[in-house]
Structure 1
């Protein structure tokens, strides 16, 4: 019987009933779910039972060249799903035999089933009619009421070049796609920090989707060759492993931004969602400038002081080559802001450059969310212009509602403004778009720091203890827990945790200063002054935050010396001054006129 005839029959394959027309697999009357591609492989194997079907034949039949180029990974995954459904083993097969480097062969017996009764056939026809009506209704409903996918994750694009030195390019393209898709209306898009841990993950897509709480997954690969780039992606409904859409794009490197926009637009159409009307227009970009931009993005993602410095160099080269490249200026602003936050340089020096770059980004592209985010953070951390900050950060969230870092920055701003309910709403949104980090130690540390800023020590301590239990090797966890315990009056326990942070990160001067402060509170003056001497020695040849030194003087009850350093921090525009509230570390200074004048000049609201 030829394959055309077979395609209309229900066949008995081993102990399974295979309906070649409907694509159903049953065992003793129980339907077994098999995704579409694995079933198509089974169909081909059944139609040519006993023959070898090569991998190349499967590629041509099921993976056309213009859909998805990571063929080996997709085929291996599909074969595993098919074998799992059949209860088969690659090592000791009873259904499908693997011929290494060649292909596959069906070895199970195939028999034709007896014709079904006319009564069953009429019931089936009726069922098909009902289902068809339901499908039409569902399509009308989905087209008229909103997206078919409500939460989506873009997994790290595979580097298909075979060159490990091109990883930065694949990672940068992943982040660019996430940034574009983040502007989708009514769709939650998972942040870069939550998807990058799944790079080269062996977990199944449904399992990854469950962990990230999404119903759609985008995966694919990218290769750059000469002056051209090719990106191929597929969109999958996670629950059913159903392929919703797949396509490949190839462009000159100068059109890579257009490629990204076309790709994000196609995905938005596939899930019946709309990109924000404010989405910035694509532009041609100099290939060398874009390469520096991606290198800078990769360096910034390392989250280290050295990485930030490399990122600044790369971004400056990018905008020097192409002065009208707005994303380059926005990323440069972010890098300068992070440099100041790291404590490696005086904030006045770095944040003024961050402000210039952010303003330039907005001037070039007023609809670029990242530019408004960075300008809002400059107003918040450096200018202490609360009104301007509240204009820029919400503007950024309107343009890109899925940017995790903007939500957490706004939450911190709202807590300092004594608006806890609004801050909690932003934290909740941050958890939704950053689920991987939110469930890790870093997420608990971030939420605990916000609780401490608000003076809620019990919640802050509980969150910090959870973080330390999850990752005892993380210095920042012990530092934040020790700081919070000591500030809450549990000084011996605080010292224990702060000592652990210094042991894990001995070169961190901020950690050392906080430990000296705690020693002073505990009456261990000799230990406190030994660290203070080291901080002063270090400040002679490199930047040390005046607040770090002032903290130790507060612990030693040397209020006037402490105020000298706080006033120096004010001249430096040190970002830590935004936590200058009378109910925290600075409580001993609350009645000092100089302290109250500082509070007035910074403009912090009264609790």
Structure 2
């Protein structure tokens, strides 16, 4: 199914815009009926039980009048759809079981025309920029070829989402030097087009060849040789970006011309440093923050990224992306348990503000400020506005989709959150592998995680998936499997000593010994440096020690621990969610 637009009867449900249209006219629905309709639409006509609805819409809270809430929401949906309640044809009641949505249309494939000619209203084409080939004979030009591909990807990613979805460069980089054909790559990533490129030199002149290939039949649908007039590396990048925008989507080239010119710094070395910093930041940030903090995983990649981001802004103090990188660094290290919130977030805010001053139309800057509003200010309205603006400016920015999904799941808008998390993984399936599993953890769907990612004959998973499986197994009481998944996750993160320690604790005293070991490690770290009180609260919750748990939760609340924004969905507190004391704490966070 097209995750964005679902058609049934004479209606269209645009999940991304949170909009229902009937016969072309928008129909207003309140939040709860809209959430239920999105849930039903996301199941492709399958039955959705009332129990599933309670879990999705109320987080399983049995103290709410969920029966009446479901009945009211169903009634309002039928009114909006023009569905006769005495003889419904769209929203069908299965007595004693639940409901299903009938008549959902299968999505049509994109036209085999070029991406620039995709018809308005049709599904957007999926494109990936392959690493540019260096045919100059000079190995020193490899980095410049990488920069050409990165800029081409970033340029095209900022074009209209109704026309083009660009797969992120972290996924594209996996195919450097690959022997796989375009058809094989297209099948793996569900691509419609790939953009190939190469760099050649004739004396002092550069020649850049760019070719757009339709994956369905591997036909070359567009090709251009570009000989930059400029000689400087950054000017060449700007020329290439403008040429691609002008040729592939001429209708919006002028609209984006100023934005494209601002993405790049004055000094080429600043851009190179930023790309290197982003590489190390991505490599570390896509682990589960709670797992990393509990097991004190190495934060060296974070620290290396900061050194490169610092270099970027030192080389060019007007380079907005460099400040975005620094904002991301200072915020992420707090979320991952390296520093206290008041040490990192004020600096993250200042860096995001500087980036916005330099370039108010930079999507990464809006994303950075939205993260501050979310994790530190606990201002959901401003955070959502920031993420939506970042995605308006660049609909192919996976990190914005992923963090926006976390916000949506954290405030109970689960159906929208699932869709946003799925988009992040679809745009960058390697860099964000496990994003969907992360969404399932936040939604408390631990059985679904185990079934989907740990079924018989399952393939080897990313460290993030093993981290999430460890959580799911523990919540379900499958402690041996939780231990093994923890060991797999630590091994995948090159933490062999920590993995061996967990295994030896399990063998010596079972899972109680594993958890007590976590607590002992935290106490030792607390004596030598900063340790988030939320980590201690989580560990005491897992050890079924509520008094100590609430003590440390209050301490976490006092310091505004970043991950408290997801307290409602934190799996370690599941058994305490219905208590008055816990709900009082949640109320202070989610207003």
Q: So what's the TM-score if we normalise by structure 1?
A: 0.65
1: CA distance, partners of 2:502 / 2:384: 31
1: CA distance, partners of 2:118 / 2:274: 38
Provide, for residues 122-147 of structure 1, a one-character-per-residue CA deviation record: whole Å limited to 9, x for no partner: xxxxxxxxxxxxxxxx99x9599799
Give the RMSD, CA atoms, in angstroms: 4.1
Counterpart of 1:497 in structure 2 is 485
Alignment pair present for 1:217 and 2:183: no
Counterpart of 1:449 in structure 2 is 438
**What pairs up with 1:216-235 in 2 under 5 angstroms?**
216-222=193-199, 231-235=208-212
Counterpart of 2:554 in structure 1 is 567
Structure 2 SS opposite 1:220: strand
Alignment pair present for 1:264 and 2:251: no
CA positional deviation for 1:335: 2.8
2: CA distance, partners of 1:255 / 1:499: 46
Structure 1 SS opposite 2:568: coil
Which one of the candidate residues 576, 600, 606 is aligned to 2:563?
576
Counterpart of 2:458 in structure 1 is 469
Counterpart of 2:35 in structure 1 is none
Counterpart of 1:488 in structure 2 is 476
Structure 1 SS opposite 2:224: strand
2: CA distance, partners of 1:542 / 1:269: 54
2: CA distance, partners of 1:220 / 1:152: 14
Structure 2 SS opposite 1:540: helix
2: CA distance, partners of 1:143 / 1:463: 34
2: CA distance, partners of 1:298 / 1:423: 26
Change (3 A) 1:577 1:157: same
2: CA distance, partners of 1:265 / 1:570: 49
1: CA distance, partners of 2:448 / 2:553: 29
Counterpart of 2:381 in structure 1 is 387
Provide, for residues 462-499 of structure 1, a one-character-per-residue CA deviation record: whole Å limited to 9, x for no partner: 23325993215x44333211211222344444344334
Counterpart of 2:48 in structure 1 is none
Structure 2 SS opposite 1:367: coil
1: CA distance, partners of 2:491 / 2:470: 13
Change (3 A) 1:225 1:485: farther
Counterpart contact for 1:319–1:328, Cα < 8 Å: yes
2: CA distance, partners of 1:168 / 1:197: 16
**What pairs up with 1:243-322 in 2 under 5 angstroms?**
244-250=222-228, 256=234, 258-272=235-249, 274-275=251-252, 277=255, 280-283=259-262, 285-303=266-284, 305-322=299-316
Alignment pair present for 1:170 and 2:151: no
Change (3 A) 1:336 1:143: closer
Counterpart of 2:573 in structure 1 is 586
Counterpart of 1:416 in structure 2 is 410
Alignment pair present for 1:157 and 2:132: yes
Provide, for residues 174-217 of structure 1, a one-character-per-residue CA deviation record: whole Å limited to 9, x for no partner: 22221111011211211122211111112223332343333322
Structure 2 SS opposite 1:586: helix
Structure 1 SS opposite 2:338: coil
Counterpart of 2:95 in structure 1 is none
2: CA distance, partners of 1:285 / 1:358: 20
Change (3 A) 1:193 1:413: same
Change (3 A) 1:432 1:390: same
Counterpart contact for 2:167–2:427, Cα < 8 Å: yes
2: CA distance, partners of 1:311 / 1:556: 36
Counterpart contact for 2:209–2:223, Cα < 8 Å: no
Structure 1 SS opposite 2:194: strand
Counterpart contact for 1:172–1:297, Cα < 8 Å: no
Change (3 A) 1:145 1:540: closer
Structure 2 SS opposite 1:207: helix
2: CA distance, partners of 1:508 / 1:378: 34
Counterpart of 1:191 in structure 2 is 168
CA positional deviation for 1:500: 4.2
Which one of the candidate residues 511, 536, 542 is aligned to 1:549?
536
1: CA distance, partners of 2:421 / 2:453: 16
Structure 2 SS opposite 1:372: helix
Provide, for residues 505-540 of structure 1, a one-character-per-residue CA deviation record: whole Å limited to 9, x for no partner: 585999999999999xx9854553344222211232
Structure 1 SS opposite 2:198: strand
Which one of the candidate residues 456, 467, 470 is aligned to 1:479?
467
**Bigger mean CA deviation after superposition, 324-333 or 562-571:** 562-571
Structure 2 SS opposite 1:469: coil
Counterpart of 2:110 in structure 1 is none
CA positional deviation for 1:581: 2.1
1: CA distance, partners of 2:554 / 2:520: 20
Alignment pair present for 1:377 and 2:371: yes
CA positional deviation for 1:446: 1.9
Structure 2: tracts of 5 or more residues without a match = 1-112, 286-298
Q: So what's the TM-score if we normalise by structure 2?
A: 0.67
Alignment pair present for 1:180 and 2:155: yes
Alignment pair present for 1:368 and 2:362: yes
Provide, for residues 537-594 of structure 1, a one-character-per-residue CA deviation record: whole Å limited to 9, x for no partner: 1232344333222222223333232233323333443332222128832145446666
CA positional deviation for 1:159: 4.2
Change (3 A) 1:464 1:542: farther
Counterpart of 1:55 in structure 2 is none
CA positional deviation for 1:232: 4.1
Structure 1 SS opposite 2:259: coil
CA positional deviation for 1:397: 0.7
Alignment pair present for 1:437 and 2:430: yes
Change (3 A) 1:286 1:466: farther
Structure 1 SS opposite 2:127: strand
CA positional deviation for 1:307: 2.8
Which one of the candidate residues 343, 346, 350 is aligned to 2:344?
350
